[in-house]
Amino acid sequence: MKEFLLLTPGPTNVPPRVLAKMALPMIHHRTKEFQGILERVNANLAKVFVTKNPVMTFASSGTGAMEATITNLLSKGDVVLSFSAGKWGERYRDIAKVYGMDVKSLEKESGEAFTANEVREALKANPTAKAVLITLCETSTAVCHPIQEIAKVTAASGALLMVDAISGLLCDPLRMEEWGVDVVVCGSQKGFMLPPGLGFVALNERAIAAISKSNLPKYYFNFADTLKAMKKNDTPFTPAVSLIRGLDEALTMMLEEGLENVWKRHADVSAWLRKEVQATGLKLLSKAPAAGLTAIIMPEGIASGDLIKTMRDEHQIVMADGQGELQGKIVRFAHMGAAGTMDAAKKGFAAFSDAMAKAGSPLEQKARS
Which position among 237, 252, 329, 358 is part of the footprint of a copy of itself (CB under 8 A)?
Answer: 237
Nearer to a copy of itself, 64 or 299 (CB): 64
Q: Is 214 in the site for a copy of itself (CB under 8 A)?
A: no
Beta carbons of 319 and 348 less than 8 angstroms apart: yes
Sign of CA dihedral 336, 295, 85, 220: negative
By CB under 8 A, name the one of 243, 297, 317, 355 that touches a copy of itself. 243
Contacts of 61 (CB under 8 A, 6+ apart): 187, 196, 197, 199
Size of the site for a copy of itself (CB under 8 A): 52
Render the burial of 230-254: b for 16+ CB within 10 Å, e for the rest.
Answer: beebebbeebbbbbbbbbbbbbbeb
User: Does 13 sit near a copy of itself (CB under 8 A)?
Assistant: yes
Among 212, 217, 231, 232, binds a copy of itself (CB under 8 A): 217
Nearer to a copy of itself, 14 or 151 (CB): 14
Find, among 11, 13, 12, 21, the residue nearest to 252 by Cα.
21
Which amino acid is it at 168?
G
Q: Which is nearer to a copy of itself, 186 or 288 (CB)?
A: 186
The candidate with the shortest Cα–Cα distance to 155, out of 185, 173, 176, 136, is: 176
Candidates 239, 292, 322, 340: give the one binding a copy of itself (CB under 8 A).
239
In three-state secondary structure terms, 135 is: strand
Q: Are 345 and 273 contacting, i.e. CB atoms less than 8 angstroms apart?
A: yes
Scanning 23-31, 106-114, 125-133, 171-179 for contacts with a copy of itself by CB under 8 A, the matching segment is 23-31
Number of H helices, E strands in the chain: 14, 15
- Using the rule CB under 8 A, give the single segment among 52-60, 255-263, 264-272, 346-354 that binds a copy of itself: 52-60
Angle of CA points 99, 102, 106, to nearest 5°: 110
Binding to a copy of itself in span 136-175, by CB under 8 A: none
Side-chain half-sphere exposure of 102, counting CA atoms within 13 A = 7
Q: How far apart are CA 102 and CA 161, in angstroms?
A: 16
User: Considering the rule CB under 8 A, would residue 253 count as an interface residue with a copy of itself?
Assistant: no
Q: Which of residues 57-76 bind a copy of itself (CB under 8 A)?
A: 58-64, 67
- Of 23 and 271, nearer to a copy of itself (C-beta) is 23
What's the min distance (Å) between Cβ of 120 and a copy of itself? 29
Please say which residue, 122 or 330, places its beta carbon nearer to a copy of itself.
Answer: 330
Among residues 184, 128, 138, 134, the alpha carbon closest in space to that of 158 is found at 128
- The reply to whether 300 sits near a copy of itself by the rule CB under 8 A is no
**Does residue number 220 form part of the binding site for a copy of itself (CB under 8 A)?**
yes
Q: In whole angstroms, how close is the CB of 115 to a copy of itself at the nearest point?
A: 29
Q: Kindly state the smallest distance separating residue 73's Cβ from a copy of itself, in Å.
A: 15
Of the listed pieces 38-46, 240-248, 270-278, 350-358, which binds a copy of itself according to CB under 8 A? 240-248
The residue within the footprint of a copy of itself, chosen from 17, 19, 105, 299 (CB under 8 A), is 19
Q: Which is nearer to a copy of itself, 194 or 288 (CB)?
A: 194
| Position among 54, 86, 168, 187 found at the interface with a copy of itself (CB under 8 A) | 187
Q: Please check whether residue 332 is in contact with residue 319, taking contact to mean a CB–CB distance below 8 angstroms.
A: yes
**DSSP calls for 143-203:** EE--HHHHHHHHHTSSSEEEEE-TTTTTTS---HHHHT--EEEEESSSTT-S-S-EEEEEE
For a copy of itself, which residue of 25, 109, 231, 369 counts as binding (CB under 8 A)? 25
Residue 121: helix, strand or coil by DSSP? helix
Options 14, 176, 203, 351; binder of a copy of itself; rule CB under 8 A: 14
Segment 91 to 130, residues that bind a copy of itself, using CB under 8 A: 94-95, 98-100
Residues that bind a copy of itself (CB under 8 A): 1, 3-4, 6, 8, 10-14, 19-20, 22-29, 31, 58-64, 67, 94-95, 98-100, 187, 189, 195-197, 217-221, 237-243, 318
